[in-house]
Amino acid sequence: MAHSSDMISEDIVQYLKDHEQKSLLRFITCGSVDDGKSTLIGRLLYESKLLFEDQLAAVEAESKKFGTQGDNIDFALLVDGLAAEREQGITIDVAYRFFSTDKRKFIVADTPGHEQYTRNMVTGASTADVAILMVDARRGILTQTRRHTYLASLIGIPHIVVAINKMDLVDYSEKTYNQIMDDYTAFAKQIGIEETTFIPMSALAGDNITEPSNNMPWYHGTTLMGYLETVQVDDELMQKAPFRMAVQWVNRPNLDFRGFSGQLASGIVKPGDRIRALPSGKESTIATISTYDGNLERAVAGQSITLTLNDEIDISRGDMITSAEEPASIGKQFETTVIWMHEEPLMPGRTYLMQIGTKTVTASVTGIKHQVNVNTMEHLAAKKLELNGIGECNISLDRDIAFDPYKANRDTGSFILIDRMTNNTVGAGLINFALRRSTNITVQHTEVNKEVRAALKTQKPCVIWLTGLSGSGKSTIADLVEQKLLAAGHHTYLLDGDNVRHGLNKDLGFTDQDRVENIRRIAEVAKLMVDAGLIVLSSFISPFRAERKMARDMLEEGEFIEIYVNTPLEVAEDRDVKGLYKKARRGELKNFTGIDSPYEAPQQPELDLKTVEMTPEEAADKVIELLKQKQMI
Amino acid sequence: MNGKKLSATALNKLRKEAVQLRLSGATLAVIRQKTGLSHPTIISAHKRFIAGGWEAINIGKRGRPRSGTSGPGTADECLKYMLAGLPEDGGLWTTQAVQEWFGNRQHPLSTKTISRYLKEWGIAPPPSTETTESASEWLVQHHPDFVGSPAESDAQIKKRKILKGGIASLKITDTENVSGICGYAIYVQDFRGKLYWLANAGKPDSRSIIHFLERLSAQLKQEMIVSFHSAPLTRYQDIQQWLASQSQITLLTYATSPRSAKPAATPAADKHEHTQSYVRNTMALTHLERLEAESIQIMREVVSKADNPVMLYSIGKDSAVMLHLAMKAFHPSKPPFPLLHVDTGWKFRDMYTFRDELVKKLGVELITYMNPEGVEKGINPFTHGSALHTDIMKTEGLKQALNKFKFDVAFGGARRDEEKSRAKERIFSFRTADHRWDPKNQRPELWKNYNANKRPGESIRVFPLSNWTELDIWQYIYLEQIPIVPLYLSAERPVVERDGTLIMVDDERMPLQPNEVPMMKKVRFRTLGCYPLTGAVESEADTLPAIIQEMLLTKTSERQGRMIDHDSAASMEKKKQEGYF
């Protein structure tokens, strides 16, 4: 039925010719095993005759052993992972499965698991054209149905099908079907979903999967397979949007050819079309659409191509080529929706790498407006986003990027966030709109600048950033260094942990996110002082690499000198000048670095002072030596 | 000496006697002595007894009645008779001998019908493509070394009769033997088309070849050059010894057909309409176009982000598609990375030839690497087993190569549809500094946004064909006319049977059991790897559409032919963690 066997055996060449014209549909199935999701996928694979005899034999054997369907084949066993797989504890589980019919090839993103549901579903949904929401006819619309619906609409899956399964267990009742349909429609309207398709079915018995069911004569709609074979795919919709292509690679085989390779995110492009390169804003026209198969007369959304232009304009990887009439927007600050995907929570103030299209920029979350409860869609106040948390966040970048709102274009409006230390993908985000703030606040150019101020002081301003455990000797060394600099006639300032916490940062505690904010403020202050031409000494535990890197990145190349006051924990604890370690050990002091809060030692500090091997005086001399060596003084 | 000249009734009496002896526990040798029947005849009679009782032993009573005739004189019976020994006149089987056999049973047949029977049984040699060729021309083409050798002058060659032959696998429709090798014919044919043969049950061995040549020599009584389409027969000591005592016969062998002008299986003949600048008739992309665009996007991302990428090239069909996509992705530039072939030394010879020709044609850089320690220790799949061979030559070899050349990203041709455990594999798969795959430390992949950031020492395997299925691969090869190794297409090849799997004897390193001789079968390969580890399937599919047709109609999954997977159930998963793809 799915593959016309007669044609295969009689005229394979004609069959192949027909099948070259098949389209591709990617869909996601949402629901738990209890809803019959695995059974449905197994059934689809079976009906499309994509199961081989050896696989089927294996499943038949397993069905007898483990199956829940008596002597019948338990389709769920086809898709549920092996026991060994489960033991491995793969936490992000999106399994991709494939089948095809005479009309289409299908890629199913199967996202099992309740625990990591948000992360898995968002991952699977990000490439899907259709979402099939499984509903158990006996149980109706549940919390999870709402959650799946919310996520599907958030990710902007164009088509939602509600598969009302297990109709055989409710006597194929039309009343039940209508009730579920009404419940769902009422709820879907609240979150702005206008169109939904409902199909009553039984994956187990095969009703309305590929053949219209005789058990439900009251239903006149399409079967699930019929729906999947005919629904419009995303690429076709994207052809109607304005032309966008992020440049992946500049193709320069010789001096005569300069092409820009990329995949069309949207629109149609033809030679002669006027284009604009972003963010530069320069314009030109398309000369050729070059491919291995010859030059094309036009290219459409979804194709990977190489463009050449009629003018020599400067375009590199990360730039976007767009229609000149309807170009993408430019922005640096955005309101976004972020879905957090890592155990380490998102902290406002911390910087991450943002990868949007082919561009990677530095981003920091400047504020979380609210978090969304995925079950109730309520908005909650939040200081950080935990794993699977979804929040509306303001994000600020270090430079301009070209973008479209996610609702207008999934490719040019979506991004991932990458942890700068671990390189993990920690979050996914959708751009809602650009914040206009960025256009109103511009840097004031003044006649008296950093260079002039520094010249007057005959020194190069910089930040000497001492990091180390409590009691490692940071403040003592910093004090000595400042004395020596002062004696030599230099202009300095010492920012010390305790002093700053008494004033500027007295509203902050010692939780991880407060520590991040603490360092951000100190780094900003240090930056202002460097601008004033001073040599700034900063003495803070500053336990996280990410924040020290943030401080480094705020300053110019060479202005940040990281000094690791390297004292082993035992030695520092033994010294315990302020008696804090004892308190922490007794449990009276929470979040104490080295005891119940981590310290991430620098990997490549400018200077590593092993304090057990030297006196504070010697350590201070080493710092002075380094400054001379770097010609700061 | 044996029952060949006996009537069917007498023969059946002997068969019953043999079965009785077998039931009483006599050995085959003893029964043979007493009845004069051959081992296969005895075994066949015994099997029939088990299946159908005493009545079933009678050969004259069985077989499909053909065109209204029953009793003796059917085609099936003739084949049975043939398996039991030589024709009534005691010579080798020929078309005339078959005709006489039927004639003696009041069932005269035309030579045309007999040719049809021979074809049905599998005895007829493969139809010659070079119809008008002369014997000496043929010899020059197939044995240039022999003809060119100073010891053999033209005059000397011309004096002798030239015969070409081989070992064919019989098609026995008997339900007792449905799979594997159940019978064979040794045959030669002269250049006037006359065929001489000998049929036997079981698997061919060197003794039966000597037996055949002895008969042939006695029958023709002249000097001759016999050329066998087979694995080299000089490796058998008994054949060598026997030949040494024969001045009349020169025995030559050739394994594969001489390389024709087109080296690769390029279906150039039935070229499709569109290659140059074209406008698609509909605006929507087809599934292959979407897959192609996705793979190209992935490759370009890698090249932009990696310090030193490489493409793992295994010479197989998936590699062929991956390389083709790379040519497309960077056109008009060449792919900005080399290909790396981690060689085990045990690939099919056709694969090496194909690889070298293709690389030259495309102008891409190829690095081949073979684990030097493995080579030194002489690791091979026969003595060390498939698991150890794969581990040392493939897994270790790959790690060594990646370390040696400091490649940080490696493209691989694995697909998610290959097996259940691959369904969850990422497109960008991260490996630790010691190349281990950590299932817990894989990144989510959203939209088309691949995070390729990594720490020094870490590496990434990237699978641009993740979302392709086997059918997509074949359709794309067909549509794009991508050259593939000819082994994917069916042809006559020398094979032996091991544990129900057909293994091609590709060179002399393949150890055979004493006297075991490979036979020619029309086979092809669904996957290609080390030849001793790759099972062939019997197939008539010698064009791409035929392969796809066969694939769509066959009901066993692709990896069945790969012996590596039989080693242990979860072996693929374990191998991946250890660094084998």
What domain range is B543 assigned to? 483-578
Maximum Cα–Cα distance across chain B? 86
Query: Which of B290, B328, B475 lies closest to A302 in CB terms?
Result: B290
Residue A97 Cα, gap to closest chain B Cα (Å): 6
- B342 and B381 co-located in one domain: yes
Which of A84, A95, A291 lies nearest to residue B331, judging by beta carbons?
A291
Option in A251, A317, A411 nearest B330 (CB): A251
* Residues of chain A numbered 259-288 and touching chain B (CB < 8 Å): 259, 261-263
Instruction: Supply the pLDDT for residue A78.
Output: 60
Per CB-CB distance under 8 Å, the chain A contacts of B327 are 292
For residue B440, the chain A residues in CB contact (below 8 A) are 88-91
Distances (CA, A) of A149 to A135, A139, A394, A626, B470: 11, 16, 25, 60, 34
Size of interface A-B (CB pairs under 8 A): 214
Q: Which of A88, A107, A416 sits opposite B439 (nearest CB)?
A: A88
Element (H, E) at A316: none
Question: B442 and B516 share a domain?
Answer: no
Rounded distance, CA A468 to CA A539, Å?
A: 9
Structure tokens, B283: 């605006």
**What pLDDT shows up at residue B264?**
41
Place of tokens 């009629």: A310
> Confidence band (pLDDT; 50, 70, 90) for B325?
very high
User: Among the three residues B470, B501, B527, which one is the final residue of a domain in this structure?
Assistant: B470
- The pLDDT tens digits of the residues spanning B390-415 come to 888 888 888 889 889 999 999 999 89
Find chain A residues with C-beta within 8 A of B442's C-beta.
90, 92
**Token pair for B147:** 């003809």
Q: What is the dihedral of CA A274, A277, A281, A284, to 10 degrees?
A: -30
Predicted confidence band of residue B560 (pLDDT cuts 50, 70, 90): very low
Q: Taking residues B337-361, what's their average pLDDT?
A: 90
Respond yes or no on whether the N-terminal peptide bond of residue B494 is cis (omega within 30° of 0): no
Say whether both B443 and B558 belong to one domain.
no
Nearest CB among B420, B455, B554 relative to A82 is that of: B420
For residues B568 and B496, membership in a common domain is answered with yes
Tell me the backbone φ, ψ of residue B267, rounded to 5 degrees.
Answer: -80, 55
- Would A238-323 and A329-440 be classified into the same CATH topology? yes
- Nearest-neighbour CA in chain A from B364: distance (Å): 14
Alpha carbon distance B264, B107 (integer Å): 48
Its pTM surpasses 0.80: no
A76: closest CA among A41, A44, A104? A41
Mean pLDDT by 10 residues, chain A (633 residues): 60 78 87 74 74 59 58 60 45 75 86 69 89 90 85 88 91 91 87 86 87 88 90 77 94 91 93 91 92 90 93 91 91 91 88 92 89 84 87 90 91 93 91 70 62 82 92 90 89 84 82 82 90 90 86 87 92 85 84 85 90 90 91 82
Task: Summarize the confidence of residues B34-60 as an average pLDDT.
Answer: 76
Does residue A389 sit in helix, strand or coil?
coil
**CB pair distance less than 8 Å for A263 and B560:** no
> CB distance A95–B475 less than 8 Å?
no
Q: Which of A328, A332, A336 is nearest to A430 (CA)?
A: A336
Q: Is residue B564 part of a domain?
A: yes
Give the mean pLDDT of chain B: 78
Region B164-174: mean pLDDT is: 75
N residues, chain B: 581
Nearest CA in chain B to A298: B279
A258 Cβ under 8 Å from any chain B Cβ? no
Tell me the percentage of chain B whose pLDDT exceeds 70. Answer: 80
Nearest residue on chain B to A7, alpha-carbon basis: B549
Say yes or no: B380 and B512 in one domain: no
The pLDDT of B158-179, averaged and rounded, is 70
Interchain contact A86–B (C-beta under 8 A): no
Q: Where are the domains of chain A?
A: 5-232, 238-323, 329-440, 450-629
Which of A235, A295, A416 is facing B277, going by the closest CB pair? Answer: A295
Judged by a CB distance cut-off of 8 A, whether residue A416 touches chain B is yes
State how many domains chain B has: 3
Q: Which residues are paired to A566 by β-bridges?
A: A610
CA distance B435 to chain A (A): 17
In a domain, B82, yes or no: no
- CA-based radius of gyration for chain A: 31
DSSP H/E element including B169: strand B161-169
Identity of the residue in B332, B417, B469 whose CB atom sits nearest the CB atom of A257: B332
Contact assessment for residue B6 and residue B84, using Cβ atoms and an 8 Å cutoff: no
Phi and psi for A347 in degrees, rounded to 5? Answer: -120, 125
Which pLDDT does position B130 carry in this prediction?
52
Q: Chain A residues with CB inside 8 Å of B431's CB?
A: none
Binned at pLDDT 50, 70 and 90, residue B579 comes out as low
Q: Work out the end-to-end distance of chain A between its first and last CA atoms, rounded to an integer number of angstroms.
A: 83
- CATH number, domain of B387, equals 3.40.50.620
Residue B277 domain-assigned (yes or no): no
Residues 6+ apart with CB under 8 A from A353: A360, A361, A362, A363, A417, A418, A419, A420, B453
Q: Are A16 and B272 in contact (CB under 8 A)?
A: no
Establish whether A542 is a catalytic residue.
Answer: yes
State residue B421's pLDDT score: 67
Share of chain B above pLDDT 90, in %: 18
Per-residue pLDDT reduced to its tens digit, B216-235:
888 888 888 888 877 777 77
Q: Which of residues 370-409 of A touch B (CB under 8 A)?
A: none
CB contacts of B304 in chain A (<8 Å) are 248-249, 317, 358
CB contacts, 8 Å: A262 with chain B:
300
According to CATH, the topology of domain A329-440 is: Elongation Factor Tu (Ef-tu); domain 3 (2.40.30)
Report pLDDT digits (tens) over B84-113: 778 777 788 888 888 888 888 777 778 788
CB B209 within 8 A of CB B233: yes
Same domain, B296 and B233: no
Confidence of residue B333 (pLDDT cuts 50, 70, 90): very high
Residue of chain B whose Cα is closest to the Cα of A17? B479
The answer to the question of residue B86 being in a domain is no
Q: Has residue B92 been placed in a domain?
A: no
pLDDT attached to residue B563: 41
Angle (CA) B332 B336 B337, round 5°: 140
* pLDDT score, position B329: 95
- pLDDT tens digit string along B259-317? 433 334 444 434 343 333 333 335 678 889 999 999 999 999 999 999 999 999 999 99
- Between A318 and B131, name the one with better pLDDT: A318
Q: Give the residue from B403, B436, B470 where a domain finishes.
A: B470
- Taking only residues 545 to 604 of chain A, the set having a beta carbon closer than 8 angstroms to any beta carbon of chain B reads none
The verdict on a CB contact (< 8 Å) between A353 and B444 is no
**Marked catalytic residue, from A202, A323, A472, A542:** A542
DSSP characters over B483-521: ---GGGS-EEEEEEEETTEEEE--STTS---TTB--EEE
Q: What architecture is domain A238-323?
A: Beta Barrel (2.40)
B437 and B489 both lie in a single domain? no
| CB < 8 Å from B in window 205-234 of A | 233
Instruction: Identify from A416, A430, A549 which residue to disrupt to test chain B contact, counting B C-beta atoms within 10 A and taking the largest count.
Output: A416
Residue B181 tokens, joined: 């090798």
Please indicate, yes or no, if residue B48 is contained in any of the structural domains: no
**Tens digits of per-residue pLDDT, B230-268?**
777 777 888 888 888 877 888 888 766 544 333 344 444
Helix B287-305 and helix B317-330, axial crossing angle in degrees, nearest 10 = 70
Residue that terminates a domain, selected from B470, B504, B527: B470
Q: What is the pLDDT of residue A446?
A: 65
Nearest Cα residue in chain A from B468: A98
CB contact (8 A) between residue B424 and residue A410: no
pLDDT digits (tens, 9 = 90+) for B364-376: 999 999 888 888 8
Specify the pLDDT at position B463. 94
CA dihedral B576, B487, B327, B278 (to 10 degrees): -130
State the nearest Cα–Cα gap between B483 and chain A, in angstroms. 16
Please indicate, yes or no, if residue B88 is contained in any of the structural domains.
no
- CB of A304 within 8 Å of a chain B CB? The answer is yes
Specify the amino acid at residue A38.
S
Q: Which numeric CATH code is attached to A450-629? A: 3.40.50.300
- Taking contacts as CB-CB distances below 8 angstroms, the residues of chain B near A356 are 449
Any domain includes B534: yes
Strand, helix or coil for residue B232: coil
Number of residues written out for chain A: 633
CB B38 within 8 A of CB B31: no
Instruction: State which fold the A5-232 domain adopts.
Output: Rossmann fold (3.40.50)
For residue B368, which of B321, B412, B314 has the smallest C-alpha distance? B314
| Cβ of residue A126 closer than 8 Å to a chain B Cβ | yes
pLDDT reported for residue B63: 39
Chain segment B435-485, per-residue pLDDT in tens: 777 766 778 899 999 998 888 888 899 999 999 988 899 989 998 899 999
